[in-house]
A and B are shown apart, each in its own frame.
Chain A
Amino acid sequence: MLDLIDVFERADTGLLMSDIDYYMKRFVPKLSEIVDRYRIKWDRQTIVNSDDDLADRVFQAGVDLIVEAGAYCPDTNRVMEFSREEILRAAEQAPKAARFGEGREAKTMYGRNVDEDSVPWIHVGGGIYTTKEQIYLDTVEGLASIGIVDSLSVPSILHLRGKDARVRSPQELLAAIKTVILAREGIRRSGRAGLPIINGISAASNSVSMIAAASPQFGLRPSDGFLIDFLSEMMVNYEALQKVAYFNSISANIGSTSTPMYGGYAGGAEGVAILATSYLIMGNLIYRGNYHYNAPLHQNLRISSTKPLLWAIGMSNQANARHMRRPVVNLPYLAGGAGTKMYHYEMAAYMLSVVPAGGHIFSGHPAKSVEPDSLLPKDHQFHAELGLAAARYSRKEANPLAGKFFAKYENIIKNPTKGFRYDQVYDLESKKIINDEYLRIQDEVRAEFKEMGLEVLPS
């Protein structure tokens, strides 16, 4: 496989072109040709694909997209080109497991196959904005206290002396450090000090803040996981490559992260499925990620629970499972607010799309991830249990069930139900749930899911 210096040099020596030419003359026309070449077509009905040949064609299409479009480095205005052989080698040699955590919490996340009935990795939380240190600590402690959880995404807290830090400012760097310290403390309070944080580092928007806050004296370790994302479609900037250089130098777990946009340069469901697959390959080829955060998103609605996206996300998991088997967690950006029925319906459809497709469990980000203090640990426990329930189904069995859940929220997807905030549900002193309506909704949903054919067993 190409070594990292070779990869970095591609950003300095590739074809010089403007970003708009890259999209208009390379990415968009090539992707369109590739969709036709491999006859990738979504039938507008299926949520969970079970056609292996189609999944294989999506993988081949993902390879072709990297060969023919390459990645783009906006810092040098150059196209990073890779040969088919280099790409296929990166796919063949992609890590099939990642070891996270310390002490008795240490555990290995394996890549899963389609229709595999093994217990998936259980990841909960989210990098959602939090307003107060106490809520931050209590949220993290609550998430880490869920016994079946294997790893956490911790929220972000950007407040310093009552004000939010500005991007790239010294305050942001301090806020990133504060996030890490608080997160580790919240986890320690749960009695599971070795539990890994695999969304390092939610409050750091740039490489300097991220590398600074990753320093071991603040509590993160190479056995946690550090996210490195693609800036925009196929865009790899110097900041990302700086993180690649650093986190590979300390042999840390790297989560390559991609957010292909439905309705953006990739177009619709077919383009997103292919692009998401390309990212899964590039995550190893360029970033050396040993796990992947797969986060396709609707450009306007800013959620991932629409029907075409559920299909596309599942499809990229299947292409990965059948050809690379990288460990993948998928980010569910959901429209419904925390604690609402809509939120849980969306989560059920999402889990049924990704878990039988070879993905792992990740609990839902409510309210389009914009509502502060909206991570409610009991929701995430339910979602973890829901993911385990979804793992009992094959893709073929999951499809009609996912359709039933999708039908429950389809008509309100543009006007989602508002949800609860942490301090509306939990007592900040006793840390107990004090909101009966919240509890009632979850009980009703659990009973309703059983009636619909998805029994979610309490952990």
Chain B
Amino acid sequence: MDQNELFDHLKKAMVALEPEVLVSETAKSLEAGIAPLEIIEKGLLPGLNTIGELFENEEIFLPELMKSAQIFQGAMKLLQPKIKEQGVAAEKKGTVVIGTVKGDLHYIGKNIVKLLMETSGFEVYDLGVDVDPFAFIVKADEVKADVIALSALLTTTLVGQKDVIEALEGQGRRDQFKVIVGGGAVTKSWADEIGADGYAENGYGAVGLVKSFVG
């Protein structure tokens, strides 16, 4: 079997959401001497991209998206030791710290954005809901994030997004991170008013924004 066929099998197993098949195809690809990073770039990520498109077209939904992230991690368990062994580092696409701002307890929208970012190859750190503004900054420092993504559903919690930007400005580090905002109550004019670097109406838009910043 040539390499392209193997990549095709990996992609198909990913899209079919078959964890056992994906692990076995990953093992086969390694046995065939394909570099682990190539397996990721040419087999797994194209599969994840297709899943993202299916999600956008409402052919699959959040449960399938969650499953795809899980089975991707299953394949990565096989690949990571090899990557370490070979001493090569995966090319980092970008790191995002995400959370729902203080006072807001909603998380489905934020979870979708997180999954779409993960399945687009970004490293994502999810701080959950009702997150203190300074916690975003502490985490972003710790993981050397490129982007801080802030979700807010309610009109009364929008101000939590402004707080994070204000806290960064207060520390004189506003330029260190790109800050993007989204969620039910958020509008473009609000994003502009608080000086966010970007606003997205949905998860796909958020991924596009992150790509534009770190791509």
Contacts and interface: CB of A to CB of B under 8 A. Distances in A.
A156 B202 CA distance: 25
B105 A237 contact: yes
B120 to A, nearest CB: 16
Interface residues of A, number: 32
B103 A166 contact: yes
A262 to B, nearest CB: 8
B137 to A, nearest CB: 20
Nearest to B126: A20
A83 B62 CA distance: 28
Contact of B156 (A74, A165, A300, A370): A165
Contacts of A232: 106-108
A167 B154 contact: yes
Given A231-B105, A232-B108, A299-B112, A164 B159 contact: yes
Contacts, number: 72
Interface string B155-166: 111111000000
Contacts of B155: 129, 156, 158, 164
Interface string B124-161: 00000000000000000000000000000011111110
Nearest to A308: B58
Interface bin, chain B: 20 to 34
B159 A205 contact: no
B62 A265 contact: yes
Contacts of A370: 184-185, 187
A261 B61 CA distance: 11
Contact of A263 (B62, B66, B158, B185): B62
A267 B63 contact: yes
B112 A264 contact: yes
Contacts of B105: 74, 231, 237
Nearest to B66: A24
- Which residue of A165, A168, A205, A233 has the most chain B CB atoms within 10 A of its CB atom? A205
Contacts of B61: 263-264, 266-268, 271
A210 B172 CA distance: 39
Interface in B173-215: 184-185, 187, 201-203
16 contacts: A24-B70, A28-B63, A28-B66, A31-B63, A158-B155, A164-B156, A164-B159, A166-B156, A167-B156, A205-B156, A231-B106, A232-B107, A263-B58, A266-B61, A267-B64, A299-B108
Given A32-B63, A264-B112, A267-B63, 20 more contacts: A23-B66, A158-B155, A166-B156, A166-B157, A167-B103, A167-B159, A168-B103, A205-B154, A205-B156, A205-B157, A231-B105, A231-B106, A233-B108, A263-B61, A264-B62, A267-B61, A268-B61, A300-B202, A370-B185, A370-B187
Interface of B: 58, 61-64, 66, 70, 103-109, 112, 154-160, 184-185, 187, 201-203
